[in-house]
Amino acid sequence: MKGFVRIAILMLLVASLLPLACKRKHADIPDVNDIISNMHYLDSLVESDVVDSIDRINNGLSANLLRYANRAQTPDDKSILDSLVIISENVNQFLRLCTETPNNLEIMEQEVREARSQYLGGKMDIATYVSNLLQYDQLLVDINIRLSDQIESMRTYLSIQAKLIPQLNPLPNNE
């Protein structure tokens, strides 16, 4: 009985999506070319000058952390260095995201193209195709929001690090 209910619900879902899919101009169905264009935009975002700048600033932060490693002179220095390590870890996590995103977008683009090919070849029904496009479109929106939020967070973190580093006591000249 449970299987019958599931099948009935699935059939109702497909039946409700089918009229929408047939009225493409009236439905809010993403266009494959728009989805692919958005993928290329996100790809350019993670390979932008802003990300390169964040990477360069983080390299400078990492160099300072190496210089001061195990050499905190006061409890305040230790606290500042701990904060700088946290900032560096967050920036490194963001940079890993930027490194992984192009590969993920490339895979997603292949999947979108494959879905279109299957739909046009009659191997995928309209409801599944529309559902896939909507999922890809939402995923791209989520990635865009995440990247935008992360870039803003990195700017904040790096502006904080720029204020913290000068507060460290200078190291002795006999390095």
**Cα 42–Cα 47–Cα 49 angle in degrees, nearest 5:** 120
pLDDT digits (tens, 9 = 90+) for 128-157: 999 999 999 999 999 999 999 999 999 999
- The predicted pLDDT at position 170 comes to 87
The answer, yes or no, to whether residue 171 has pLDDT greater than 90, is no
Tell me, what DSSP letter sits at residue 31? P
How many CA atoms lie within 13 Å of 48's alpha carbon, on the beta-carbon side?
12
Are 84 and 161 in contact by the 8 Å Cβ rule? The answer is yes
Q: How confident is the model at residue 28 (pLDDT cuts 50, 70, 90)?
A: low
Q: Which domains does the chain have, with CATH numbers?
A: 31-167 (1.10.132)
Helices (DSSP H) in 47-125: which residue ranges?
A: 49-68, 75-120
Class of residue 154 by CB neighbours under 10 A (exposed 0-12, middle 13-18, buried 19+): buried
Class of residue 10 by CB neighbours under 10 A (exposed 0-12, middle 13-18, buried 19+): exposed
pTM, entire model: 0.73
pLDDT digits (tens, 9 = 90+) for 89-142: 999 999 999 999 999 999 999 999 999 999 999 999 989 999 999 999 999 999
